[in-house]
Amino acid sequence: MSMVDEVSEKTGRYFPHPAVQRFTSGVYPDHHALVTASQDTLKENYPRYSRFGTPVTDAVEQEVTRLEGGYGSLCVCSGLAAITSTLLAFLRPGDHILVNRSVYEPVRHFINTYLSQRGVSATFLSSSEFMECDKFLKKSTTLIYIESPSSNVFEVTDIEFVVNQAQKNNILVVMDNTWSTPLLMNPIKHGVDVVIHSASKYLSGHSDAVAGIITTTEKYFSPLRKYLMMAGICLGGEESFSIYKGLKTLGVRLDTQANSASKIIELLSYHPHVGTVLAPQLITHPDHCTYNKYYKKYNGVFSFSVACVSDKKRDEFLAGFKIFKLAYGWGGVDSCIIPFTLTHFLISDPTQLFFRVSTGLEECDLLIADFKNALSFL
């Protein structure tokens, strides 16, 4: 049996999945039971209200905790909610944070607007600058936020070096591990305090649920859970069950998607119309050595560029794909491609047009043929 498996009390038969219970409020037999439940703010026993959790949510939290090697996990309504709620739970006016420069753009926007308005300042660093992060620490620095490999360009941060500096200064370290999943790397084993996943990506794996999961060490679990319960940031049973099912196939999906990605990367690396391929498994990536230090395998997400072409040529290139879908999502069973712009804070080449790719579970030969067909329009 895996995860949290149920056995019928009446028959003793084994059931492989927890029930998806659709309810808002629990019903109690008497006043004593109701009062006892109302005092159970951390869900020590079963919740009095579905905002505190459901059986399948519990199962997901327990499995992700096991996979990440943490103390406990908490499901929330989106990956971005997992990030913003963690920041809001632990930051106070006057605090300063360090963040990697190529962080997910909505996170950068949240920091520069909402957190800034509330008196929290931030310094954005490249992966190489994080190797000198002690120079950027202030007396008011209370949190370091890492997304590694980072969005679109996959900058890889040397986690143990950052953690070492943070522990010397009693600084909380939070890391977004969505790109890697718990199967490729476990940040807590390297000293990270709080790990975040957008479960909408690889963990659910079918592009049918929006969810986030936070895994913490023992020190930070109760404070964060209290904040989430007070703020009402929770996940429903249907979405939880989607993640539950996805976790069971995560390993085989990652292997298949990584294999397809590696074959396409090989094609692109020698194609005359391709300028550069951004994937940390390539020796040409600036953080290749750091990646090999921490990560066990690769996944199905990478980026590449072509020489800037007219809007007409770009549209013909994208229309040339019959299998790859033009979509922002990634980590699902369907292969996707989306153009993106290197923002001003990254070293960029204005002569290049960039695309992010996520391989799905279609046959690898078909994906390669699809790419060759689209490239013929350039």
Give the pLDDT confidence of 247-280 residue by residue, as tens digits: 999 999 999 999 999 999 999 999 999 999 999 9
CATH for 6-248 (3.90.1150.10, 3.40.640.10, 3.40.50.300, 3.90.320.10): 3.40.640.10
Fold for 250-375, please state it. Aspartate Aminotransferase, domain 1 (3.90.1150)
Helix (H, G, I), strand (E, B) or coil at 277: strand
Average of pLDDT values for 25-50?
Answer: 67
pLDDT at 24 over 70: no
Angle of helix 55-68 versus helix 237-248 axis, rounded to 10:
40
Cα–Cα distance for residue pair 20/364, rounded to 1 Å? 35
The model's confidence at residue 61, banded by pLDDT at 50, 70 and 90, is very high
Average of pLDDT values for 25-48?
Answer: 68
Cα–Cα distance for residue pair 115/106, rounded to 1 Å? 12
Residue 6, pLDDT score: 45
Average of pLDDT values for 78-87?
Answer: 97
> In terms of pLDDT, which residue wins out, 21 or 203?
203
Q: In CATH terms, are 6-248 and 250-375 the same topology? A: no
The model's confidence at residue 4, banded by pLDDT at 50, 70 and 90, is very low
Of residues 136, 87, 139, 137, the one with CA closest to residue 114: 87
8 A C-beta contact, residue 195 and residue 216 = yes
- The percent of residues in the chain predicted with pLDDT above 70, rounded, is 88
8 A C-beta contact, residue 300 and residue 329 = no
Residue 192, pLDDT score: 98
Average of pLDDT values for 365-377?
Answer: 97
pLDDT in tens, 129-157: 999 999 999 999 999 999 999 999 999 99
Cα–Cα distance for residue pair 99/140, rounded to 1 Å? 14
pLDDT at 99 over 90: yes
Cα–Cα distance for residue pair 130/290, rounded to 1 Å? 12
The model's confidence at residue 11, banded by pLDDT at 50, 70 and 90, is very low
Residue 15, pLDDT score: 44
Which residue type is seen at 376? S
pLDDT at 327 over 70: yes
Cα–Cα distance for residue pair 84/87, rounded to 1 Å? 5
The model's confidence at residue 1, banded by pLDDT at 50, 70 and 90, is very low
The model's confidence at residue 12, banded by pLDDT at 50, 70 and 90, is very low
Where exactly are the structural domains of the chain?
6-248, 250-375
Mean pLDDT of the chain: 90
Average of pLDDT values for 323-346?
Answer: 90
pLDDT at 245 over 80: yes
